[in-house]
Structure formats: structure tokens, C-alpha cells
Copies of this chain bind each other. A is one copy, B any other.
Amino acid sequence: MSEQRTIALLSGGIDSATAACIAMEAGQKVIGLSFDYGQRHLKELRAAEVIAKELSLEDHLTIKVDLSSWGGSSLTDKSQIIPTNGVQKNNIPNTYVPGRNTIFIAIGLSLAEARGANQIALGINAMDYSGYPDCRPDYLEAYQDLANLSCKIGREGKGIKLWAPLIDWEKTKIFKEALRLKIPIEKTWSCYQGDIKPCGKCDSCRIRDTALKEIGRQDLCSSNI
């Protein structure tokens, strides 16, 4: 059997690290891919580098694609304020970045085809991603159809799989899995802000801290790292 290789999109957060680790446990060689997309801060990129080393990935690339040229999100436009009033149900918050996942997966497909990888591991999780349209199962299914038509090997029936193992997991399940896999959670970065410590108030911190408390690991919460 030929070597199995995965491109893992690494955000520096816990979900993508967990997806990468699950792929490694299944015997895949994993190449990490991160994006310098004009986000507010580079702490998450530094975290992605650290995680790639800690997990001993085969390789880790960071590519620049500057979406702050046109903004459209509080994550790529510093004049917009990141919400801190808690996750609002049925509302897409301004932390949604137009086109972000579509671009990241497209670049992942390019790298996968060039390096002969058979899948792309995504930390996407539909349960708690603040209702982003590009984190839902129907979006991923449509992208798989496109991926199969987009490339040489897809046309030959050997398409690149878009693999989002955490898509319908509760956040607590993700953290438990991360702990089992011995991922250094304290070295990941989830906060939308780029201060010295996580803010503890943005959606991303709230979601993370709530789950950590639920599994009795508040030692890893924003206020304690």
C-alpha cells in the first residue's frame, strides 16, 4: 500500500491539533499548513509552529494570504470590535471572516495535490462555531464534490478527502480526546485577541473555558495560563 499522507490545517488551536493527532494515530504522515491571513495577531501562528514541533509533524508550512486588504470581519479589521457579551444563538457574529475556510481548504487542496496527500484534516466543529456558515456539514459535503472535480486525481477517481473528524463533537469530547492524545493544551491558542494572556471574554475563550470547566480541568482555563 502506498504511503498515506494528510495535510492538516493548523490554526494553533485545540481542534485542529486534535484532528492532526487523530490522523497520526491512524498511521498517516501529517504535514501542517497554517495561514498568515492578516489576522489581528500572530500568537496563534506561533502556537501552530509550537504544536507542529510538539507533535513531530513531517513538515509545517505557513502561507501568507492577506485578507485584511478588504477586511469584512473583526478578526481582519482592527476598527471592528470583537464581541465579548457571550455567544449569541442564531446569529453570525462579526468574527466570521468572509471566504476564510473556502480559501484555506482550497490552498490545502493545492498542497495536497502537489505533495500526493490523500486527505485534508480539518478541525472544523459545527456544534460551537458561533454559527459560521462555512463550518457546517452541508458546506463540507459541497466542498467534497467540488474537490473531486477540481483536480487531476479527483477526475481519476482518487480524490482528496476533506476529513473533519470533530464536525459533530461536543467541545468536551474534543478536550477529552486532546488530553488522551497528550496534546499540550496549554500551548495552544484560541483567544481572538492577541494580548499576553487570553482575554477570557471573547466567544472563543468562553467556549474553551466552559468545556474545560465541564471536564474538571479549569487549571487550563484562560485565567490560569
Question: Does A196 interact with chain B (Cβ within 8 Å)?
Answer: no
Q: Report the minimal beta-carbon distance from A125 to chain B, rounded to whole angstroms.
A: 17
Which A58-103 residues have C-beta < 8 A from chain B? 61, 63-67, 69-72, 92, 96-103
Given A66-B63, A142-B149, residue A72 in contact with residue B103 (CB < 8 A):
no
Question: Does A110 interact with chain B (Cβ within 8 Å)?
Answer: yes
Question: Does A197 interact with chain B (Cβ within 8 Å)?
Answer: no
A99 touches B109 (CB 8 A): yes
A110 touches B106 (CB 8 A): no
Count copies of this chain in the complex. 2
Cβ contacts under 8 Å, A69 to chain B: 61, 63
Interface size class of A (residues with CB under 8 A): 35 or more
A110 touches B99 (CB 8 A): yes
Question: Does A155 interact with chain B (Cβ within 8 Å)?
Answer: yes
Max chain B CB contacts within 10 Å: which of A70, A92, A142, A151?
A: A70
Q: Report the minimal beta-carbon distance from A79 to chain B, rounded to whole angstroms.
A: 13
B113 touches A106 (CB 8 A): no
B133 touches A101 (CB 8 A): no
Question: Does A176 interact with chain B (Cβ within 8 Å)?
Answer: no
Closest 9 CB pairs of A and B: A99-B110, A72-B114, A98-B113, A102-B106, A70-B114, A103-B106, A142-B146, A106-B106, A65-B65
